[in-house]
Amino acid sequence: MKESAFIDTYLRVDEDGDFVVKSSPCPFLASDNTCTIYDERPSDCARFPYTDEDVLIKRQALTLKNSEFCPITYYVLEKLIQ
């Protein structure tokens, strides 16, 4: 599939200007909760929740948002506050 077709089919631009999937749950999530494109998944999927990157500090609004549903992000923030 060409990149432009992939973008048209699966992605939209969110309020922060980032590409995100159009539907939730992700269209690549299988019924057994595995990723059907795991070996070629987007870098954001591979890097999430960014706990070993400066993204955790530099994009604080994103980190706070992620902490609402991602337990490890919440835990890391709790430890940083301590």
**Interface positions with ligand SF4 (CB under 6 A):** 26, 28-29, 35, 37, 41, 45
Nearest distance from residue 38's CB to ligand SF4, in Å?
A: 6
| Smaller CB separation from ligand SF4, 41 or 59 | 41
Pairing of strands 19-21, 11-13: antiparallel
Report the 10 Å Cβ neighbour count for 76. 19
| Smaller CB separation from ligand SF4, 29 or 77 | 29
Q: Which amino acid is at 60?
A: Q
| Smaller CB separation from ligand SF4, 26 or 77 | 26
Residue 36 gets the label, from left (phi > 0), alpha (psi -120 to 50) or beta, of alpha
